[in-house]
């Protein structure tokens, strides 16, 4: 009987160890928040400012009232994002901050010289970042011209960052396609092939478009540029096409521009590739949790039968 109880105890102990291994990061996070609230003497050293990762604009359909595809704004003043003119929609700002940092204290956004009110709408975690999401409702694009967006963030350690984003309205327009799938901005396309076929179709004043360019960055996010593909004009003033073979499976960022009088306008910024729902680390933690709970349950059942 003693040997049986020892075996049962060992089984339950192994289950507890596996379960704690799986949930320790969550315990650390909750305990860290507890310390921050109840123990002001705790010191966090943070000398890295947050990152103003992107601004997105989601227009409302003028008649149906439903949201249309989002536009991701460009950080390059020489390559502004093309927005539809005189269109009402919502603006969003994504702020990335290291998990070990002090946390976001203040975020502001200006459109040209006008300050907008931002509401915090949520957050999520990656393995190394905490992503905060902010939103401003009911902003209307002008009828023409260049727009400058100025975003500002400050963390609790006093680190600040200011980033400008650029857009333009009132110029020619068109639609990119990747393997016959529409690709605008803020789009994730999943493919089971390394071969990419690009197409750009002019939808407005195609005669003014001089050339069309596609750029590929890897890995996503924060990748390096690995290719630039100038598309061929296959139908005069209407259609441009080209192709490229990716070097390996993975997740890529693909940007598309058309040029008017030598000036580029960004019309595509998409994520392409295969991105598993669970990474290896997360899957291993879930496996540990399931194994731990199973061993604890089985050990408790054996113990009940032994007494």
Q: What is the pLDDT of residue 239?
A: 97
Q: Are residues 61 and 18 in the same domain?
A: no
pLDDT at 292 over 70: no
Q: Is the pLDDT of residue 204 over 90?
A: no
The predicted-structure confidence for 9-25, as pLDDT tens digits, reads as follows 666 665 665 555 555 55
Domain boundary among 108, 142, 169: 169
Helices 280-306 and 2-38 meet at what angle, rounded to 10?
A: 130
pLDDT band at 280 (very low <50, low <70, confident <90, very high): very low
What is the number of domains present in the chain?
3
Task: Tell me the per-residue pLDDT of 77-98, one tens digit each, with 9 for 90 and over.
Answer: 888 888 888 888 999 999 988 8
Average pLDDT of the residues of the chain: 81
- Specify the CATH number for the domain of residue 261: 2.60.40.10
What is the distance between the alpha carbons of residues 75 and 167, in angstroms, rounded to a whole number? 9
Regarding whether 136 and 124 lie in a shared domain, the answer is yes
- Of the residues 139, 169, 199, the one at which a domain ends: 169
Domain that holds residue 85: 51-169
Tokens of 280: 């290896």
Question: What is the rounded CA–CA span in Å between residue 26 and residue 21?
Answer: 10
Are 57 and 161 in the same domain? yes
Note the pLDDT of residue 75. 92
Cβ-based neighbour number of residue 209 at 10 Å: 23
User: What is the rounded CA–CA span in Å between residue 31 and residue 20?
Assistant: 14
Q: Is residue 243 part of a domain?
A: yes
Q: Could you tell me if 10 and 71 lie in one domain?
A: no
Residue 278 lies in a domain: no
Tell whether 99 is covered by a domain. Answer: yes
> Is residue 299's pLDDT more than 70?
no
The reported pTM is: 0.60
- Does residue 163 fall inside a structural domain? yes
């Amino acid at each position: 009987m003693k040997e049986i109880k020892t075996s049962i105890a060992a089984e339950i102990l192994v289950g507890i160890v596996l379960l704690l291994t799986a949930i320790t990061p969550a315990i650390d996070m909750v305990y860290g928040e507890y310390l921050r609230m109840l123990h002001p003497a705790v010191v966090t050293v943070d000398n890295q400012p947050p990152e103003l990762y992107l601004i997105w604009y989601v227009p409302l359909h003028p008649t149906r009232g439903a949201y249309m595809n989002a536009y991701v704004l460009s950080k390059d003043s020489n390559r502004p994002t093309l927005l539809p003119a005189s269109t009402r929609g919502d603006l969003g700002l994504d702020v990335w901050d290291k998990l070990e940092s002090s946390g976001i204290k203040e975020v502001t956004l200006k459109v040209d010289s006008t300050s907008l009110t931002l509401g915090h709408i949520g957050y999520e975690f990656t393995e190394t970042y905490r992503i905060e999401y902010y939103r401003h409702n009911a902003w209307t694009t002008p009828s023409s011209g260049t727009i400058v967006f100025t975003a500002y963030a400050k963390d609790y350690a006093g680190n600040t960052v200011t980033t400008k984003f650029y857009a333009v309205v009132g110029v020619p327009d068109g639609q990119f396609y990747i393997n016959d799938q529409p690709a605008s901005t803020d789009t994730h396309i999943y493919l089971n092939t390394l071969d990419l076929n690009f197409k750009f179709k002019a939808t407005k004043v195609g005669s003014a478009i001089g050339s069309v360019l596609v750029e590929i960055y890897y890995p996503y996010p924060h990748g390096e540029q690995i290719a630039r593909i100038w598309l061929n004009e296959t139908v005069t003033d209407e259609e441009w096409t080209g192709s490229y073979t990716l070097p390996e499976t993975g997740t890529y960022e693909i940007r598309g521009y058309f040029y008017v009088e030598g000036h580029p306008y960004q019309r595509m910024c998409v994520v392409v590739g295969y991105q598993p729902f669970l990474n290896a680390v997360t899957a291993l933690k879930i496996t540990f949790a399931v194994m731990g709970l199973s061993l604890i349950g089985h050990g408790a059942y054996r113990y009940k039968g032994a007494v």
